[in-house]
Structure 1
Amino acid sequence: MVSVESPPVERATAPAPRVKLLKTKVSRRTAWILRVASVAVPFALWWAVSGSGVVPDRFLPAPPQVWAAFTDMVASGDLQNDLLASLGRIGAGFGLAVLVSVPLGFLMGTVGWAQPLFEPIIGILRYLPASAFIPLLIIWLGIGETSKIALLVLGVVFFNTLMTADVVRQVPRRLLDVSATLGAGRARVAARVVFPHSLPGILDALRVNAAVAYNLVVVAELIAATSGLGYRITRAQRFLQTDKIFAILIVIGLIGLTIDVTLRLVRARVGRWSV
């Protein structure tokens, strides 16, 4: 009698444990608590260290001293004048960089010959520190406003061009195919499809590079300037007025945060569909 082997019985396997993803969102209340703590904790540490006497006031002034220095500069009008001078340079330099980089980056992202033509030289120039051009800018343009604005343009234009081109190249191919199927020409596709789809990403690039321009204006004002926040820092350093330096640094941080939040709100408004 021939025995028939029964097929092997498959053992029931336990389901694989699910990998819990990291929690990336918190409640609105928790978020605000963390935001407040991110400012309050360093401020409390600063006050405690400066009040302990471990570090002399000349090197680490206490918050009340910094506030007194701030009110003195406001009362004299120096802070307002320096702030307007710095913001004017940022507006001119950053504005010129945007006028050049956004159209050029859009061209590199939409026209086939533009990327191999412009990307190599821009890729080289973006690795050259903008501050390294200061001696040449002074020789070519002098020590006036033109050289300071040119420094901001050099520090922003190359990075923003490549970032804009990358954003434009990320437009989904299916949108371009559908537009072509419906009979839209290249110019119409660029204006009605590519640009609106790229605009939120372009604004994100502007947010990043606005911080670069804001930092460079302080560097530009450290050399041969008669106004501006960088100039005021240099002047305070000569007389060991660290309370004024701290006050100006806080103002710089707050204005920079205001610029970033403003661009973020604009981005959220024009790019709601991409959130």
Structure 2
Amino acid sequence: MLLQNGKESEITGMQSKTTEYSKTIKRKPASWLEPQKDISAKLYLSLSVASFLIFIGIWALLTYSGVVNPLFLPSPSSIIESGITLFTSYGFFTDIYMTLYRVLVGFILAFVIGMPLGLLIGSYKAAEAFFEPMVSFVRYMPISAFIPLFILWIGVGELEKVAIIFFGSLFSIILMIAVEVSSTRKELVEAAYTLGSSNFSVVRSVILPASIPGIMDTARLVLGWAWTYIVIAELIAAKSGIGSVILESQRMLQTGNIIFGILTIGTMGLISDLLLKKVSKIFFAWNDGR
């Protein structure tokens, strides 16, 4: 009898432990806390808006309370007033157009030249041995150091400003695309050869399609760098462009105009990034979840 009671109590204990363990297993964290877990579009948008609202709130608190001198950091309302003045009295739309033109022309030229070179380097080791050391060497040279040479070689016109964007973007595009292409899964390449594909067909039909989503991510990243290069390009002998507005405002101690110009560049960069991201999802959705 005692033995039977002991077995029953042992079984009961095991059942209670199993129940507790099951409850522990079922206690999963909220989806937005799980690594690599997708969240709803509504939550994503809410968090994105919240980050901007918090930034603006801290900014307003520092300026309207008088903690920061308006000369160093104007209030949000003062920045809006500066923007209205720039658009209505100083033709700021023209400056935006010129900046957008220089960035897009320089970046597109760099991408058109850099993509096939990156594909070549990433696909063939002989091309990697020939091109990569020199490309890596040039990539680490600061673009600002070349401005005097560009002025000497091609003057201070539009070509010089586009050249700064082009030169600053090209070598990063080449190397980053080469790394992306070289990361193509080897079993896909081997399977293509097994099915009788030629060397060119493997590059065109296997390596390139597998790499395109990553190449688009590279384009988004380097385009963001191009928006930072434009300020350097337009600080030298530019009669138009957001960079020239920032420089002229610095001379006149118009901090509001400086900050509005910086915010305008950031907004244009964000819009271009979102557009590239949308295009990538639409045209290359097959590899979106890799």
Question: TM-score, normalization: structure 2?
Answer: 0.84
Deviations 1:228-274 (A, max 9, x none): 00000011111111111121111111111001101111111222122
Greater alpha carbon shift after TM alignment, 31-40 vs 206-215: 31-40
* Equivalent-residue separation in structure 2 for 1:154 and 1:192 (angstroms): 30
Letter in 2 for 1:55: V
Greater alpha carbon shift after TM alignment, 242-251 vs 99-108: 242-251
For the pair 1:138 / 2:156, whether they are aligned, the reply is: no
Q: Residue in 1 aligned with 2:131?
A: 118
For the pair 1:23 / 2:34, whether they are aligned, the reply is: yes
Q: 31, 35, 44: which is aligned to 2:48? A: 35
For the pair 1:147 / 2:160, whether they are aligned, the reply is: yes
Q: Residue in 2 aligned with 1:104?
A: 117
Q: How far is 1:160 from its partner?
A: 0.7
Q: Residue in 2 aligned with 1:221?
A: 234
* Equivalent-residue separation in structure 1 for 2:137 and 2:212 (angstroms): 26
Greater alpha carbon shift after TM alignment, 105-114 vs 26-35: 26-35
Q: How far is 1:27 from its partner?
A: 4.6
Q: How far is 1:186 from its partner?
A: 1.6
Which residues of structure 2 form unaligned runs of 5+?
1-17
**Equivalent residues, number:** 261
Q: How far is 1:207 from its partner?
A: 0.6
Greater alpha carbon shift after TM alignment, 48-57 vs 203-212: 48-57
Q: How far is 1:77 from its partner?
A: 5.6
Deviations 1:76-118 (A, max 9, x none): 3621100110111111111111121101011111223100000
Q: Residue in 1 aligned with 2:89?
A: 76
Contact 1:217 1:230 in 2 (8 A): yes
Aligned to 1:67, the other structure's residue is in SS state helix
* Equivalent-residue separation in structure 2 for 1:77 and 1:176 (angstroms): 57
Q: How far is 1:55 from its partner?
A: 2.3
Greater alpha carbon shift after TM alignment, 165-174 vs 203-212: 165-174
Q: Which has the higher helix share?
A: 2
Contact 1:93 1:149 in 2 (8 A): yes
The 5 Å alignment of 1:160-171 reads 160-171=173-184
Q: Residue in 2 aligned with 1:204?
A: 217
For the pair 1:59 / 2:41, whether they are aligned, the reply is: no
* Equivalent-residue separation in structure 1 for 2:265 and 2:160 (angstroms): 22
Q: How far is 1:34 from its partner?
A: 2.0
Deviations 1:168-223 (A, max 9, x none): 11111221122122222122222121111111011111111001111101111011
Q: Residue in 1 aligned with 2:266?
A: 253
Q: How far is 1:28 from its partner?
A: 4.2
Which residues of structure 1 form unaligned runs of 5+?
1-13
Q: Residue in 1 aligned with 2:14?
A: none
Q: How far is 1:153 from its partner?
A: 1.4
Contact 1:200 1:270 in 2 (8 A): no
Q: 241, 261, 278: which is aligned to 1:265? A: 278
Greater alpha carbon shift after TM alignment, 47-56 vs 116-125: 47-56
Contact 1:66 1:244 in 2 (8 A): yes
Question: TM-score, normalization: structure 1?
Answer: 0.89
Greater alpha carbon shift after TM alignment, 54-63 vs 207-216: 54-63
Aligned to 2:125, the other structure's residue is in SS state coil
- Percent identity over paired residues: 37
Q: Residue in 2 aligned with 1:4?
A: none
* Equivalent-residue separation in structure 1 for 2:253 and 2:126 (angstroms): 56
Q: How far is 1:53 from its partner?
A: 2.0
Q: Residue in 1 aligned with 2:257?
A: 244
Letter in 1 for 2:141: L
CA RMSD, aligned part only?
Answer: 2.0
Aligned to 2:159, the other structure's residue is in SS state helix
For the pair 1:180 / 2:193, whether they are aligned, the reply is: yes
